[in-house]
Amino acid sequence: MSDIPSDLKYTKSHEWVRAAGDTATIGITDHAQAELTDIVFVELPEAGRKVKAGDACAVVESVKTASDIYAPVSGEILESNKTVVDDPALVNKEPYAGGWFFKIKLSNPAELTSLMPPEQYKAQVGG
């Protein structure tokens, strides 16, 4: 049974979004990190890059597989989490805190309404 914080929104592809004003922080869910198991490498987008909702913009690798991470919303990458690049295991330990991936400046805040609320994500992963 995975952890699904109630103050976040979610995507089908297991990203979470924490919105504050016109900025959103993105990471992967507890369910996703448990599925991936030991994460050994994270590749994050550069600041300034513009992304559209649904663009593959990061990669997370476990020992056995590589997985694409998709931008849940459109905008410009403000910052990527260097700590997680240096210590990929942090994604497994703190998927919602220290294991965040990147921050986006939202170009279309209305997109937030089409993200999944916690109950819907919980139903998807059977939490």
Partner 1 sequence: MNSAKLKRTALFAAHQKLGARLIDFGGWEMPVQYSGLIAEHLAVRNAAGIFDISHMGEVTVSGPAAEEFLNHVLTNDIRKLAPGEGQYTLICHEHGGTIDDLYAYKLSAGVYLLIINASRTPDDVAWLKAQWHAFPRRDEVNLTDASHNYSAVAVQGPRVTNFIDDCFPGASYACTRTHRVTDLKKNQIGEFHFKNGGVLVSRTGYTGEDGFEIIGEDDLIQRVWDKILKAGEPYGIKPCGLGARDTLRTEVCYPLYGHELDENTTPIEAGLGFFVSLDKGEFIGRQLLAEQKAHGTKKKLIAFKMADKCAPPRPNYPIWANGRSVGVVTSGTQSPSLGTGIGMGYVPPEFAKSPIEIEIRGKRFPATIVPKPIYKKPAA
Q: Which of 3, 12, 22, 38: binder of partner 1 (CB under 8 A)? A: 38
Closest approach of Cβ 88 to partner 1, in Å? 9
- Where in 73-112 is the site for partner 1 (CB under 8 A)? none
Q: Residue 56 interacts with partner 1 (CB under 8 A)? A: no
Where does this chain touch partner 1 (CB under 8 A) — which range of 33-41, 71-79, 100-108, 110-118?
Answer: 33-41
Based on CB atoms, which residue is closest to partner 1, 5 or 127? 127
State the amino acid at position 85 in one-letter form.
V
Sheet hosting strand 66-70, strand order edge to edge: 39-43, 56-62, 66-70
Closest approach of Cβ 83 to partner 1, in Å? 14
Based on CB atoms, which residue is closest to partner 1, 40 or 97? 40
Q: What DSSP character marks residue 73?
A: S
Q: Of 112, 18, 100, 108, nearest to 58 (Cα)? A: 100
Sheet hosting strand 23-28, strand order edge to edge: 9-10, 15-20, 23-28, 102-106, 75-80, 50-51
Q: Residue 66 interacts with partner 1 (CB under 8 A)? A: yes
- Contact residues toward partner 1 (CB under 8 A) are 37-38, 40-41, 43, 59, 61-64, 66
